[in-house]
A and B are shown apart, each in its own frame.
Chain A
Amino acid sequence: MKHTGLVFFPAFDWAISPTHPEREERLLYTRDQIFEEGIMDLPQIREYKTRMAERKDIARVHFCVPDIDAQITEAHLVSAGSSLVIADAVIKGEVDNGFALVRPPGHHAMTVAHGNRGFCNINNEAIMVEYLRKKYGLRKIAIVDTDVHHGDGTQEIFWHDPDILFISFHQDGRTLYPGTGFIEELGGPLAHGSTINIPLPPRTTDEGIHYVLDNLVLPILAEFKPELVVNSAGQDNHYSDPLANMCFSAQGYAVLNSKLAPDIAVLEGGYSVESALPYVNMGIIMAMAGIDYSNLREPDYSAAQFKESPGNMEYIEKLVQTQLRNFRHRDDIINQNRLKHPQTYSYHKKIFYDMDGIHEEQSTQLHMCENCAGYRIITSSAQNRWNLNRVFCLSVPTYGCPECQKEAQRHYIEMCNKPNNYNYIYLQDRVKDVYKCMEPARSLETVL
């Protein structure tokens, strides 16, 4: 018998707005279903009380502008804290695996956070991953994002981290928010191939997704050998989802979780609150706890309804071959990148915060370190309704080398002491687990 830890946190007193998809009602019917089934009374399931994440847990991942409290509500702290509760329970061996069935979600939130993107302010999985590394010394972790939307936030956060394998399957970005997650997006120059995107055509069914799982996801997980597998468990691939166009079923989700066997699952999106969520959530819990789910189905489901088209299958098979190749050749590409960019690697991008209407301009400069993932300098400016925020961020990787750490610290002090145009200067020293923020106009430094 497997033991599955569960944090159920429906945030019955929190909504983005009264009619927003991310509202109190979202997990109401899931509550009804899992309570009525009595699944929490079974010896396999252990329900945990949630707690609030610390601000430091957030600073380990994000540069919140101007500060953490400006980007979160208490609900976000609780939602992030829920995954930490599950992480502790799993690592301590109290349970075999665990599911944080929580809202608000987080997988669209990126390193620099000026506002809300795709219903997300802070990234629950990323906060959990860095917490696991700091507290328990884990290093290699795989995140499989099964939300219908590309997990662009999680991808961006771990873009330069070769120890985090991020796999996202989602509806093709040309047809759905956030419009990214194409096969060419494979990770930064020193982490090439540890980001794998699987854009699927609309109307992909259980069959297509299971093909991807069997022939791509599971093989590369076996080769990558992570210490922990996380499922970023969105539920909007479901055939009834109002925001997307896929044809996945509750059975499909249950089979996926049996095969993937994640150590930890964290709920992401999924807005078919009546027709999908009660059944999909049951399916995930049952699969994780090793409970037979053959009797689980949506009331309106019929197996004959959804058949994978030959055209779709052909496309998916090709996609799988391409991505297998990309993953297996990652070391060659990384070596080439080192020759091509011996000192630093820079790029520029624009980020849009759809929920808050914020446009961000961002530049990143990666130090091409020979001994670690390299420290990063991110400069970002964003115009929100009130003001223009220009920030300067220094990020030392969790397993960064002493030189990168020293260089970033030196750079931070230098920036704090010389006149510049930035409103805020941040240092994220993950090796030392110290997070600093300087506001030059007031000469005010805060340290977490």
Chain B
Amino acid sequence: MLIGIDVGGTFTDGVLFNGQTVITAVKHPTDNRDLKATLLKVLDKLLTEVKGEDIHRIVLSTTLVTNLLATESGERTALLLLPGPGLPLDTYRLFADTYFLKGNIDFKGRKTEAVDWHEVEKAVEEINSLGIKKIAVVGKFSNRNSVYEKEVRKIIVDRYPQIEVAIGSETAGQLNYLRRIVTTYYSVMTQSAWKEFVGEIETALEEREIRSEVDVLKADGGTMPLHLSLSKPCETVFSGPAASTMGAVALAMDTKNSVVIDIGGTTADISLLIDGHPLYASKGARIKGHYTHINAFSVFSLPLGGDSPIVITNGKISVESRRRDKAACFGGDYATVTDVFNYKYALGIGDPSHSTEKISRIIDGSDWDIEKFCSDVEDIVVDRLRKAIQSMFQEWENEPAYRVWEVVHGRKFIVQEIIGIGAASAAIIPVLARRMNVDYIIPKHAAVANALGACVARPTLALKVHLDTQNGYFVIDQDGISGSLQAGRSFQIQDAKELAQKYLTEMANTRGMDQYSGEAEFYLEEQFNVIRGWNTAGKIFDIGIQIAPGFIKEYQGVRK
């Protein structure tokens, strides 16, 4: 049996799943001061009918890291940066305790300026004297050659063994120094708190005699083993929206172009599925205004939900973003979006007479009659959702393209279906779909789609290999892997792809996801002739290979 738990900002959802059946579904308010307690409460409710030993997989999705970053309550961390020439240093001074060092690598991984060891020692001495126990070392183009980052780390660890050091090339090896700095910094500063949390969870599971595989959900909709998350806690940010999207995919089980709308009390999270595959944010997860190298789904959050109150101010209807209470039909004090749809379409939600009563009270003394008022509110709600959806389509269609082929063939998002999940979807989605003239589904168990998505999501792994046969080396953007390349003139793209496949398989094995390495797909194949004079001096390849988000093999859908 499987368990999925998604600790969200307002509610924590859990499901116990077996075969094709949701056996138990739990919804519980989240205590943001004690996520662990909330999580265990939900776990215990799920375990009332089964024994711990019957569980063979648990997947957790939590807001812990998201909260730590939002409240800046991680551990104090110093940044040692080797930026070299280029943008002004102030561009990279994003956080306090930032130190700049000499030492530069260029785009081909060549050393172009040496590190000043004396300068390194002085900086580290100062950091130590400030009582800082965590250091992130990040160099420009360290993803092409990590030698300086490693040498700086060695100096620190040799002198101050108590200081923990992380380097950029092992944390975030993609091109983009700014995002590498942010990602490495956030990883380091959240590590201790995450480690503590993981420890407590492991103890709690032991107490319940659960010895199953335990995974956490990442922002990219894939899972990773709990112990591997210790070095990369940041990858768990925004796993909530990822859980919802994966849940929608799991429940829909089709290959259409769809819009997933997770509309709850206060927020509508919109994501897109292209041929059934979730769309990624092209610039990575954005945390506190900073772009990162964390792979995340593209999610547009609109402050609009079933509990959004409706008011009339200065003779105009407005749908407010700030929740005041639950919907009137559930005993709330204000007329909400849910109440309006409840009245207009006679949905019979809660006690519909309360919806009618509160709406009547708002329009009392105004020029609106109740029918006109409700249809005006509907227009506003539908318009805001449509605009948000439209802007997501446009953003995807307008992604920069660097090849003639891509520009000539263009892209257009033609939506085939809306998948509604979340508490308010039943009231709003049918109307929206009708107005947009597309089909919709609101799957059974839509209210706990997030927890279901988490428990059936499979692990993901993506790596990009950069190979340079002229200079005889390759680098991989994950875990700082690099090596020399004994490549003759005959080395071709096929050989580059084999190398990428080999490393993906190895990494998959060490992560216990060997059963999925056969399903890896190439998402990037670029090759360049390096010409010096009029001769071919070598080739450069960029190969991307991934085990994309998907579902564990045992998942065969949910029985209708």
Contact = CB atoms under 8 A, between A and B. Distances in A.
A292 B530 contact: no
B291 interface: yes
B71 interface: no
Given A12-B403, A41-B283, A36 B531 contact: no
B177 A36 contact: yes
Contact of A39 (B87, B106, B405): B87
A36 B175 contact: yes
A10 interface: yes
A74 B403 CA distance: 10
Nearest to A9: B402
Contacts of B141: 32, 36
Interface in A300-335: 300
A2 to B, nearest CB: 15
Nearest to A7: B400
Interface string A273-286: 01000110010001
B113 A299 contact: yes
A233 B12 CA distance: 57
A32 B540 CA distance: 12
Q: How many interface residues does chain A have, given as a range?
A: 35 or more
B526 interface: yes
A29 B107 contact: yes
Nearest to A15: B529
Given A24-B528, A41-B179, A41-B291, A36 B407 contact: no
Given A28-B540, A38-B178, A41-B179, A292 B88 contact: yes
Contact of A48 (B85, B400, B531, B534): B400
Interface in B103-129: 104, 106-108, 112-113
A261 interface: no
B399 A49 contact: yes
Nearest to B535: A19
Contact of A13 (B399, B403, B530): B403
Contacts of A300: 112
A337 interface: no
Interface string B87-109: 11111000000000000101110
B536 A13 contact: no
Most chain-B CB neighbours within 10 Å: which of A36, A38, A48, A274?
A36
Q: How many interface residues does chain B have, given as a range?
A: 35 or more
A159 B283 CA distance: 45
B497 to A, nearest CB: 17
Given A8-B402, A49-B401, A42 B91 contact: yes
B391 interface: no
A294 interface: yes
Contact of B106 (A48, A51, A299): A299
Interface in B43-76: none
B285 to A, nearest CB: 13
A299 B104 contact: yes
B414 interface: no
A49 B398 contact: yes
Contact of B408 (A42, A52, A286, A291): A52
Nearest to B106: A299
Contacts of A11: 402-404
Contacts of B140: 36-37
Nearest to B407: A78
B87 A295 contact: yes
B176 A38 contact: yes
A163 interface: no
Given A19-B536, A41-B179, A50-B401, A33 B107 contact: yes
A300 B107 CA distance: 14
A252 B251 CA distance: 59
Contact of B404 (A38, A74, A282, A296): A74
Contacts of B176: 35-36, 38, 41
B86 interface: yes
B529 A19 contact: yes
Given A8-B402, A19-B536, A294-B88, A38 B107 contact: no
B342 to A, nearest CB: 42
Contacts of B535: 19
A28 B528 contact: yes
Contacts of A278: 107
B85 A296 contact: yes
Interface in B281-321: 283, 291
B404 A14 contact: yes
A300 B177 CA distance: 22
Contacts of A81: 407
Contact of B175 (A32, A73, A78): A32
Given A19-B534, A19-B536, A36-B176, A12 B87 contact: no
A419 interface: no
A96 interface: no
Nearest to A301: B85
Most chain-B CB neighbours within 10 Å: which of A8, A9, A12, A294?
A12
Contact of B112 (A14, A32, A52, A299): A299
Contacts of A10: 402
Contacts of A38: 87, 91, 176-179, 291
Nearest to A30: B107
Q: Ordered nearest first, which 3 A-B pairs have the shortest CB separation?
A: A38-B178, A299-B112, A32-B107
Interface of B: 85-91, 104, 106-108, 112-113, 140-141, 143, 175-179, 283, 291, 398-405, 407-408, 526, 528-531, 534-536, 540
6 contacts: A11-B402, A19-B536, A37-B177, A38-B177, A41-B179, A296-B87
Given A13-B403, A52-B408, A295-B89, 13 more contacts: A7-B400, A24-B528, A25-B529, A33-B86, A37-B86, A38-B87, A38-B291, A39-B87, A50-B401, A52-B407, A282-B86, A295-B86, A299-B104
